[in-house]
Structure formats: C-alpha cells, structure tokens
Amino acid sequence: MLTKAPKGTRDILPGETSKWQYFERVVSKLAENYGFNELRVPIFEHTDLFARGVGESTDIVTKQMYTFEDKAARSITLRPEGTASTVRAFIEYKMFNQPQPVKMYYLGPMFRYENPQAGRYRQFHQFGVEYFGSIAPEADVETIQLCINIFKELGLKNLSLEINSVGCPNCRQKFQEELKKYLANNLDELCKDCRSRYETNPMRILDCKNKKCNDLLKDDMPLLLDNLCSECDEHFYNVKELLTYVGLDFEVNPKMVRGLDYYTKTAFEVIVDDIGAQSSIGGGGRYDGLVKECGGPETPAVGFAVGIERVLLALENQGVKIPEDNEADAYLVYGGSEAKKECFRMLDKIRSLGYLALMDFEDKSFRAQLKKADKLNAKYAVIIGEEELSEEHVLLRNMKDGNQEKIPMNSFLDKIQELIR
Ligand code: HAM
C-alpha cells in the first residue's frame, strides 16, 4: 500500500517531465497565438457545480466523481473536467462585463473514477480552452482549428476529425421523442442505466458503452441531424462550409453525442490511430446554455479539451521524437581537492550566466567524470587538474568532437558565453 500509488494514478518521473513541459510550452504558445489567456481554477469545487453543469444523468456525474464531505459537511468534488469550473469563474468574476469574446485556456489534473487501462486513468491531465461570447460559426471553426493545429504542431499523424450537431433544447426535445418511440418495443433489452436514461434523458443512450444497447441503435434509428431546427441546421451548415473552406478534413458522425450534457449545436472529437481502444485524444463543442444554467447571463460558448496522457502515448507509439531532458552545457571535471574547490566556485558562476552546469562531488577519477559528462550529453567539459591550477587556466573540451583548448581562468567565463549562446 505505502509503496504503490493509488490505482489509476501515475507518477510523472524526472525522465518524462521534459516531454510534459514541451507539450505545455507548445500548447500555451499556440493558444496564446489564438488569443486565449491562461486561467487557473481550483482542483475541487462544490459538487452541485458539476451535477448541474456536466448533467445529472451523465456517466461522469452518476458514476465517476470523487465526491466527499469536508469537515463542515459541504459536498465537495474533485474536478472531473474543466468547463464547469471555467464557467463558474466567468460568472463569479463577471467576465461577461468585459469586452467579448473572453478566451481562456487551462492545463491540469482531472479526476474520474473509471476502470483504468492504457490511456485511461483516474487522475489524468487535460489541456482545454473555453471561448465565451460568440455565436458565430467562425468561433466553432477557430476552436477546432486550434485543436487540430496543436496535434499537427506536435507532429501527430493519422488524425481524424468527427463532427456532429446535437442541436438546441428545442430540436433535442423532438429527437428524444422520436428516439423513445424507436426504442419503445425493446425496452427490456436496454441495460438498467439506459432504462432510466429512457425516462430522464434518452439521448444519453447513444453514449452507452454496453454493446447490447448499441446494437439496438441500428441504421434506421432517428438522427439528431434530421431533427434540427432551422437555426441549428444553418449553423451546422456554416460550420461545415467553413471547415471545408479552411482545408480541414472532417467526417460527420451523426451518432456522436459526447459524454457531457451541456453541448448545443456543434460537437466534435479528434480520434487517433495507434493508441488502442481509448482513441479519442480530444473533444469539445458549443455549449450556449451553460452560463445561464449556472446562474449567469445568456452567453454562447465553445471549447474543447485534450487528454495529455493520450497525446503523449500517441506521439510515442508513432515514433515522434520530442525533446528529452535538458542537456548540460558544461560538466566540471577536477583532479585534487584544490581543483575541486575551484570547480565548485566556477559551477555557480556558470549557472548564474544562465547555463546548465553540473559536477560530481565524489572525487571520482578523471576518466569516470568525463564518462559521466558524455552520458549526460554535456556540450563542454571544463577540466581543472593540478597543472591547470598552477598555470591558472582551464582545459575546455568540446564533448562532441573531442577538441581541447587551454583558456586563461580570468577570461574563461567570457569564452563560455562566446561558445554557448
Ligand atoms: P471529454 O471528452 O470528457 O471532454 O474529455 C476530453 C479528453 O480528455 C478526452 O478526449 C480524452 O482525451 C481525455 N480523457 C477523458 N477521460 C480520460 C481518462 N479517464 N483518462 C485519460 N484521458 C481522459 C471534456 O472534458 C470537456 N470538458 C471538453 C470541453 C471543453 N468541451 C467544451 N469545452
């Protein structure tokens, strides 16, 4: 127990963090290029926010939330996703009074009590964006573009973009009635959850993971797309036209409803080959009713979130090279206790110039120290032995080509700056 992290969680070890930091740098820069600014919200919120925001009959709310009472008997939940919290912050800080649109992004851990498998964890990490205040189809397409461009920038291949329209509450009402009629004769074959979904929120049956329920939804099932009101229909038409215009390939998946209840109009998902069953690396859509539902003024919004573990897994499985841990600029190598002191003094001086400098303190042989410099991919070894000390110079060895140069100690720091920029 004490020596194993809880099921569904994992440590991100020092050898891996450089990949995460690289991912974070790429996505933050791109999101900022699109006009998004970072928002940091709490890891936990009042349970009601997610129950109301994500939807009472979704799997996330009914089965997957980490909910507990705090010492003052408030019901608290570890955030299972970032949209509801972002909406709460948008309302709490009256961002609707700021010039619109308001565009925010976030990065961080999310928590869902799911059955862990490759690419599915109980604590996982998302990068997400939320775009408030525009109903224009361009906002949907800009959001989708950012999502796809993140994957392209990282070097991912074999991506597919699936889109659908889940309509507005009006068209959905019509669709849900049609769906109920369609399933009315097969109620007994639905799983227990879907029997209750049939009464409370029939559209969620489309999101059921149970094969038997899936098999009931044959090709002749009613589709949301055939039940859209004219406004939603036109919006979807415009989104598709714009996606084509900007050269983004997509496929319409008329059965996609996504696992959260807040979506209206556009819904989308990005699928990648090469990571097994959990192939959705990102998804999102429009949610024009959520800000009002959570107590704010009517505000259209659109966003998406990307699963960072899945993206890194796909990059690895596709053999895409991403930067490893930072390589040392200089490795200091000494022989004797006086030289060790001089190297130790220099270590800090080199670091304060902004370079990554390392040395070993265990009095190992020259050979062993140089071997270590090589192993760490250091650019230069800075060698000081008794001879160098008495002549007041250092031996600078280029670790790539093996060339060595004698540099007077008093001009050594200038030389390093000249060589490593
Ligand atoms: P979601 O589809 O639930 O959407 O999650 C987005 C992404 O998070 C998924 O595509 C997947 O890559 C990753 N993910 C989800 N669950 C897990 C898990 N258990 N383990 C590893 N990765 C996972 C949302 O969360 C919405 N908030 C997205 C959104 C933002 N819609 C509008 N704005």
Q: Which atom of ligand 1 is nearest to the CA of 284?
A: 31
Q: How far is the CA of 86 from the centre of ligand 1 (A)?
A: 15
pLDDT of residue 278: 82
pTM above 0.85, yes or no: yes
In a domain, 141, yes or no: yes
Share of the chain above pLDDT 70, in %: 99
135 in a structural domain: yes
- Ligand 1, atom 17, lies closest to the CA of 120
Q: What is the C-alpha to C-alpha distance for residues 415 and 398, in angstroms, rounded to an integer?
A: 13
Residues 28 and 129 both lie in one domain: yes
Confidence of residue 15 (pLDDT cuts 50, 70, 90): confident
Question: CATH number for the domain including 337?
Answer: 3.40.50.800
User: Range of 390's domain?
Assistant: 330-416
Same domain flag for 264 and 372: no
pLDDT confidence band for 381 (50 / 70 / 90): very high
CA distance 185 to 159: 39
315-373 pLDDT per residue, tens: 999 999 887 667 899 999 999 999 999 999 999 999 999 999 999 999 999 999 999 99
Q: Looking at the structure, tell me whether residues 378 and 241 fall in a common domain.
A: no
Same domain, 254 and 150: yes
| Domain termination residue (choose one: 317, 343, 371) | 317
Assess whether 133 and 242 both reside in one domain: yes
Measured CA distances, 302 to 135, 148, 189 (Å): 9, 15, 36
Mark whether 280 and 402 lie in a shared domain.
no
Residue 275 and residue 309 share a domain: yes
Residue 361 within a domain: yes
Same-domain status, 249 and 284:
yes
pLDDT at 327: 81
208, part of any domain: no
Same domain, 306 and 365: no
Count of structural domains within the chain: 2
71 inside domain = yes
**Residue at 148 is within a domain:** yes
Confidence (pLDDT) at 57: 87
Statement to judge: residues 162 and 283 lie in one domain: yes
Q: Is the CB of 50 under 6 A from ligand 1?
A: no
> Which atom belonging to ligand 1 lies closest to the Cα atom of 270?
10
Pick from 90, 103, 309, 310 the residue to mutate for probing ligand 1's pocket: most ligand atoms within 8 Å of its CB: 310
What is the mean predicted confidence (pLDDT) over 29-51?
97
* Per-residue pLDDT reduced to its tens digit, 183-225: 999 999 999 999 999 999 999 999 888 899 999 999 999 999 9
In short, whether 105's Cβ falls inside 6 Å of ligand 1 is no
Residue 218 lies in a domain: no
Ligand 1 atom closest to residue 280's alpha carbon, by position in its atom list: 10
Q: Which of 110, 151, 258, 308 to mutate to test the pocket of ligand 1 (most atoms within 8 A of CB)?
A: 110
Residues 272 and 130 reside in one and the same domain: yes
Q: CATH number for the domain including 153?
A: 3.30.930.10
pLDDT at 325: 65
Residue at which a domain ends, from 253, 282, 317: 317
Q: Which of 289, 317, 345 is the last residue of a domain?
A: 317
Instruction: Judge whether 48 lies within some domain.
Output: yes
User: What average pLDDT is seen over the chain?
Assistant: 95
Q: Is 130 in the pocket of ligand 1 (CB under 6 A)?
A: yes
Ligand 1 nearest-atom number relative to CA 80: 25
Residues 52 and 105 both lie in one domain: yes
**pLDDT, tens digit, 9 for 90 and up, residues 66-120:** 999 999 999 999 999 999 999 999 999 999 999 999 999 999 999 999 999 999 9
